[in-house]
Chain A
Amino acid sequence: MTEAIRQPDIGGPAQPMLIVRDLQRHFVIRGQTRRRKDVVRAVDGVTFEVAKGETLGVVGESGCGKSTTARLLMHLTPPDRGEIILDGEKVGDPRGVSVRDLRRSVQMVFQDSFASLNPRLTICDSVAFGLRVNGQPATTARLNADAMLRMVGLTPETFSDRYPHELSGGQRQRVNIARALAMSPRVLILDEAVSALDKSVEAQVLNLLLELKERLTLTYLFISHDLAVVRYVSDRVVVMYLGKIVEVGPVGAIYDRPHHPYTRALLASRLSMNPKQRISAPPLTGDPPNPIDPPSGCRFRTRCPIAEAVCALAEPRLARVDAAHDVACHACDAGSGHTLARLTGMEGA
C-alpha cells in the first residue's frame, strides 16, 4: 500500500534528492554571567547535496551542529538563512514545494525512542496519527499502521495495542521507524537513531534500516557520533566541527585518506578493539570549544597540531582535493599561504 501514495521522482535520477545551500542558524541565548546576549552559532553556512538513493553520513562531536542541521532540513527549527532544494524544487518558494510537503517527503527518527512516542497513545495510534492528519479515515489509517508495524518486524497482533512503556528500546525504535515510513517519505533522517540502543539490538535495527532502504528506495541522512556505524551504512560522509563542514567525500576516501586534521584525529580516537594494540597517546587534547564563542578563522585551530598564523586570520574554504572529496583546511588549499599547503597540493596532483 505504500506504493500507492509514493511520491513521483520529479527531477530524474541525476537530480540530487536534497541540495542544501548556505544553511545557517544562530541561537540567541542569555549570557551566563555578563549582561549580554550570547549567540550560539549552531549551524553556520552549511552546504551539501544528497544524491537519490544514497546514504549520507554526518559525523561530529557534540555541539558540531549535526542535529540542528537535521531539524533545519525539516523546518522543525526555521533556518535564519539558506535554501533547501528538494528534488529540484525550492522549499518555501511559491513555485517550489511548501514546508508541509517537505515534511511529508522528509521524515525523521530521533535518538530517544521513549521521548519520541506519546506515552498516552497505543503504538498503532502513534503510527496512524500522521496518516489521519493527512486525510485517511481512522480505520484505514489503523490498518495501514498495522501493515507498517509488520514491515518493521513487529507483529501487529502482539504490539498494536501496546503502550510505549511496555516495549524494549529496540522495539520502540522500530515503532518510530514505522511511523516515519508510514508517511511514505523519500528521505529519512536518522538522528542518532541507533545510538541509545544496546549493541545487539543496534545491529538488528541497522539491518532493518538497510533492508528498508533497498526495498522502499529511500535516501538516508544518517547522523551519528559513532564512526564505525557511519562507515558501515554510508556512501558519502560529511564531517562537521562547530557548525561548519570540515570535510566531505566518499566514505572510502574519508576513512582511508582523511585530509582534515580534525577528521584524522577523530578517526585516530576510535577505540582499538584489540587489547594487544591499545592506543598509547590521545590524538587530540582538550574538548571541543564552546559554539558560543568560536575561534576566529579556522574553528579547529585551537586544537589543531598543524595550525599556523594564517589559520587565525582567514576562514578556510571547502576546496576539492580529490574526486568528490572536499576539505576546509588551509593546509590542503594551495592558495592559502599555509606552509604545508603546497605539499598537499602536490600530493593531489
Chain B
Amino acid sequence: MTHENAPLPVESAAPLVSVENLSVTFRSPDKTVTVVNDVSFTLREGEALCLLGESGSGKTVTMRSLMRLLPPTAHYTGRIRLRGIDVLALKAGQLSGIRGSLVSMIFQEPMTALDPVFTIGQQIAETVRRHDGVSHAAARTRALDLLELVQIPSARRRLDAYPFELSGGLRQRAMIALALSCRPRILLADEPTTALDATVQIQVLLLLRSLQRELGMSTIFVTHDLGVACEVADRVAIMYAGRFVEHGAVDDVLTHAAHPYTEGLLHSTVHAERQGGRLEPIAGSPPDLAALPPGCSFEPRCVFARAACRAGMPPLSERGAGQLARCIRGSSIHEASAPVYDAEASL
C-alpha cells in the first residue's frame, strides 16, 4: 500500500521538521503566560519523536504549533519549518495548503474529532475529494483502501457507519485513516491511545508503528506515558514547565537519564514488577506557569537543588551522543555520586 505515496523529492540534508527557539505565549487580560519556552528540535524523514511530559508541560501546545492550531490569543516567536516551509510566516489562507497534505493530526478523543452527522466513508471521501479533486467513486475507493490500511475489519460495511456506531478502538482507527487520507509526510498524534483500553491501546500503537514504517512518515507523539514512548519512539524529549529538560534517543534517555526530573519520573512510575514498598515520587506539584521560580523551573522539587540552580535557567548541554539535558549537573545521576557533583556543578 506504500506505492500510492510516491516519495517526494527532498534534499536528504534538510530535516523534514525544524523548530528553532519556539516560544508560545498566551495573553489574557489577567496575565501573560508563556506555555512553551525556547523549544528547538529537528526531525528527519521516517523518524518518530515523542514529547513526554505531565499536564501543563507544554507538550500539546508545542505540537499544535506545528500546524498553528492554537487559539488566536497565542503569540508565537521563533521559527518552525516543515520541509522548508516557514509555518509561522504563512497567511491564514495558505495554512490549509499544508494541513492534511504535509502535516496531519490525530487526537485523543476520536468521538469529538469526528463529525457525528456524517459516515466515516463520507468524511474520508470528502477530504480526499477536496485535496485531490477526484471523482466521488474514486474518493470512495480511496476511503475503502484507507480503512483497510488501518486494519478495520469488514471495512466495506464500516464505510457507511456513523462514528457513534463504532467502538472506541475502531473510531480511533477511523480517525487515523482520515488523518492519512491526504498522504501527509508528518503525522502528529496527541495522546492517541490515552482514552483506550489496555488491550486496544497496544493494537493502535502497533498499527501506528507499522504505518509509520510502511509509509515512511515522520511522527510526533505527545504522551504522558513512558510506556507509550518506549513502544513507538526513536527519540524522546522530556518537557517540564514549557521547556525541553532532556532530549535524546529513547534508549539513552530511559536507561541513563541525565535530568533529575526524568529520573524522578522513572522512579515514580509504577513498573510492572513492583509490588508493595514505597515509591519515590517527585515532591511537590508542577509550578504555576505564570509565576515560575527564578532559576531552573524544577529547582523547587529537585533533590539535587543547590544555590547555583536558583541563579538562572541552565542551558541544554550535551551528555554523550546526541543526548541533551538542561541541568547544571554535568553527568547522569548514576555516575554523579556526591564528590563528583561539586566539581561538575561548575560547568
> Which A positions have Cβ atoms within 8 angstroms of B?
32, 61-62, 168-171, 198-204, 206-207, 210, 225-229, 231-233, 251-252, 265-266, 269-276, 278-288, 290
Contact = CB atoms under 8 A, between A and B. Distances in A.
Given A282-B206, A286-B169, A287-B167, A266 B198 contact: yes
A69 B202 CA distance: 27
B168 A62 contact: yes
A68 B113 CA distance: 28
Nearest to B203: A282
A269 B201 contact: yes
B286 interface: yes
Nearest to B280: A203
B228 A284 contact: no
B208 to A, nearest CB: 12
A20 B203 CA distance: 35
A283 B203 CA distance: 8
Contacts of B282: 200, 203-204
Interface string B198-231: 1111110110010000000000000011111011
B289 interface: no
Nearest to A63: B197
Nearest to B254: A275
Determine which residue in A32, A171, A206, A269 has the highest number of CB atoms from chain B within 10 A of its CB, and name it: A269
Given A200-B281, A207-B279, A271-B202, 20 more contacts: A198-B54, A198-B55, A199-B54, A199-B265, A201-B54, A202-B270, A203-B267, A203-B279, A231-B275, A252-B275, A271-B227, A272-B227, A274-B230, A275-B230, A281-B206, A282-B199, A282-B203, A287-B167, A287-B200, A288-B199
B153 interface: yes
A202 B251 contact: no
Contacts, number: 143
B251 A275 contact: yes
Nearest to B172: A287
A62 B197 contact: yes
Interface string B259-273: 000001101111110
Given A206-B270, A282-B202, A201 B285 contact: yes
Given A200-B268, A287-B170, A271 B54 contact: no
Given A198-B286, A231-B272, A279-B231, A273 B226 contact: yes
Main secondary structure of the interface of A (DSSP, over half): loop
Interface string B142-174: 000000000001000000000010011110000
Contacts of A169: 55
A283 B200 CA distance: 9
B198 A225 contact: yes
B339 interface: no
Nearest to B207: A282
Nearest to B197: A61
Given A207-B279, A232-B274, A61 B199 contact: yes
A287 B173 CA distance: 12
Give 7 nearest A-B pairs by CB, closest first: A271-B227, A203-B281, A203-B268, A61-B197, A198-B54, A287-B167, A200-B282
A170 to B, nearest CB: 6
B186 interface: no
